[in-house]
Amino acid sequence: MAYLRSFLIIFVCLMIGKGIQHFSGIAIPGSIIGMLLLFVSLSTGLIPAHWAQPGCHLLIKHMALLFVPVGVGLINYLDLIQNNSLIILLSTIGSSVVVFVVIGIATHYKEQQ
């Protein structure tokens, strides 16, 4: 019963997020909006964490298996990825450098206080 309740909570948040995305037309995927709704609901105590915990633990436990369809789907776009590999590589390196700099500045600033 605990799994059913936790998956129902996750599914309802997903569907609400997809509905918000569909009716508002914003560019953020509905799954991300649903995840934010779930986070806010759990953070504020609107939904007790122990209600969602069994389903979340099960999904995290099998997360690697959930990436297989995505990885296989990338094979369909292998030529597109190869044609844009330099752009992908530079954007990955650039965003990593930005994250490292921001974290470095934030920790340096925190240490000085």
pLDDT tens-digit readout, 47-82: 999 999 999 999 999 988 888 888 888 888 999 999
pLDDT at 97: 97
CB 37 within 8 A of CB 16: yes
- When pLDDT is averaged across residues 77-97 and rounded to a whole number, the result is 95
- When pLDDT is averaged across residues 21-30 and rounded to a whole number, the result is 92
- Radius of gyration of the CA atoms of the chain, in A: 19
How many angstroms separate the Cα of 29 from the Cα of each of 1, 36, 76, 111? 30, 11, 22, 37
- When pLDDT is averaged across residues 28-42 and rounded to a whole number, the result is 94
The answer on pLDDT for 83 being more than 70 is: yes
pLDDT at 96: 97
Stated pTM of the model: 0.64
d(CA 4, CA 10): 10
Short-list 56, 44, 63, CA closest to 11: 56
The residue whose two tokens read 């650039």 is: 94
